[in-house]
Structure 1
């Protein structure tokens, strides 16, 4: 079977599949690969592993090599250059009075290009800025306008749960999130409660959505009469994280019951005894 390895180019970024080309790679290894942007350094998030042929999406680029000490030195120089480019860019943005916010600056591994990500509410004419920076750093300058979700992912932070925001902590594609997901999970539709640092709906609503959908497909609807080990009652709520339902037994008594503990109430026996003939 063919082998794959999964690689990211920044924390929380999209995961890309590569052919390890016989290299034994482990999670955390730094590697050099070729991409559409040129030669880049990436980090392995899933080591070399075999996959069925039908799961391989072609064309598949090969890993060039594990990063050497020289490669690591180059990456360090690039980070320093990126930091200097960011400072100069911010100064020029203020000087030219451009209504844009610089979010991140990156120098591609071979030093052939500086990529600057920015946020702006409207279209910005930054041609003069590009020319100025190109003269200053004697390399290609590429500006990328990003949205608020990308801004939060690049900057990072902590959500109301106290953990790193999902788009930074978990590598992968950003999935669309809808208000329907919040309703499905019976969350209060208060923007302050269900919005992330970016001001949009929290990514974690997407992660738990399928669990709620699948549970509700298996569970009896609210209002359904069921039998539990504690007696017969009515389903009044879903406790999805516990994979249980809340059943009202009447007279103020409620119990939690798993789906394997409940069953439809037994129908009363309608067969009556015939009258004896005298």
Structure 2
């Protein structure tokens, strides 16, 4: 693979040369051979190997690294250039030519002088060339350049406070459009986006791709974003930091990184923000929600529970039996005690099968106590013990021969 070295010449772009056995380092001054003759240049790319098809087949050689004699001679040529520029301006004014003298360059071998000027139209400078050749006794080369090359030749400081990009970086000039300024959200004021040359600044092209890529991934300004604390609207985009500033309905503004945004619709667009991202950005409501979740999902230590105690079965209440005569007086007291305890008392019918009747409800007992007692039919008189007590149901009269109470004989 061929080995090349990059050298930047004065008033020119970076050119590639064959090291030809020399080993210059970056920043060294070297003497190279060009179409114009010998020239002094600065190494911007040290020797390196490249693919065979990426460089021209024939490269001019690097003659040598500049020594002290070459540097002293370069300073002499620089003094001559400073003296020649005022003469060039006087002759232009003398012939009243519509051109602007920019710079004068002596070729390193000293037998040729190049005069740079800028003009809007073609200029007839034949008489001017004769006078310049007679004054400097050398070959004269007149070269018209544009406003960008003029800024590179003169140099200066841009709006950023740094040396002009065309002087510091060199290289070819690429077209710069107003669309690049719009894409970077710059004010379309010619005084702010134009350089010293009067054209759009070269640096607008440097960051255009970065802005275009970021805006292709970020939501548009004014888009609605779904968050855990409500809807928000995109208010500002910061391309160098890749952040998005959102404004909520209450007026609060929060800035989140673009990498923290996700898509809730499945289409890949950044249209939602999780509450964890909002909490990291400092949103108070999101911080409170995350804190509540942490408390909710913390493992709770179970308190030791006492051993289950064996419940004692309550003693069964003794059933209250009503005697035929002597125990009727104690029945109201037994009923009142049963009502207080809430346990219904079960009664047993006299005679017959001896099966117990189901307990009557409280309204039924009251209705039974209010009804007057009926006399048995047939003129028979019941015993004094057969009268129903207060609050008790009236007992039916037994038929004759049943073996129950004594009934009166039929007439």
TM-score, normalising length: structure 2: 0.60
Relative distance call for 1:258 and 1:56 in structure 2 (3 A) is farther
| Partner-residue secondary structure (3-state), 1:241 | coil
Query: What pairs with 1:1-278 in structure 2 (closer than 5 Å)?
Result: 1-10=1-10, 13-226=12-225, 233-265=232-264
- Give distance in 2, aligned partners of 1:6 and 1:229: 57
Q: Is the 8 A contact 1:226 1:264 kept in 2?
A: no
Higher Cα radius of gyration:
2
The structure with the greater share of residues assigned to strand is 1
Structure 1 residue 226: deviation in Å? 4.3
Q: Deviations over 1:227-265 (max 9, x none)?
A: 679876343332111122223333212222222111013
Other-structure match for 1:270: none
| Partner-residue secondary structure (3-state), 2:109 | coil
Where does structure 1 differ by over 6 angstroms across 4 or more consecutive aligned residues?
Answer: 228-231
Q: Deviations over 1:187-235 (max 9, x none)?
A: 1111111111111111111111111112122223334444679876343
- Give distance in 1, aligned partners of 2:81 and 2:229: 66
Q: Is the 8 A contact 2:231 2:249 kept in 1?
A: no
Relative distance call for 1:68 and 1:229 in structure 2 (3 A) is farther
Q: Deviations over 1:42-64 (max 9, x none)?
A: 11112223334443343322211
Please identify, of 177-186 and 250-259, the stretch whose mean Cα deviation from structure 2 is larger.
250-259
Aligned residues: 266
Q: Deviations over 1:90-112 (max 9, x none)?
A: 22112222222211000111122
Gaps of 5+ in 2: 267-411
Please identify, of 253-262 and 100-109, the stretch whose mean Cα deviation from structure 2 is larger.
253-262
| Partner-residue secondary structure (3-state), 1:181 | helix
Structure 1 residue 39: deviation in Å? 1.6
Gaps of 5+ in 1: 268-278
| Partner-residue secondary structure (3-state), 2:41 | strand
Relative distance call for 1:230 and 1:134 in structure 2 (3 A) is farther
Please identify, of 206-215 and 78-87, the stretch whose mean Cα deviation from structure 2 is larger.
78-87
Structure 1 residue 179: deviation in Å? 0.5
| Partner-residue secondary structure (3-state), 2:207 | helix
Relative distance call for 1:230 and 1:215 in structure 2 (3 A) is farther
Please identify, of 146-155 and 57-66, the stretch whose mean Cα deviation from structure 2 is larger.
57-66
- Give distance in 2, aligned partners of 1:245 and 1:88: 59
Q: Give the number of the structure with larger relative contact order, counting CA–CA contacts within 8 Å between residues 6 or more apart.
A: 1
Q: What value does the CA root-mean-square deviation take over the aligned residues?
A: 2.2
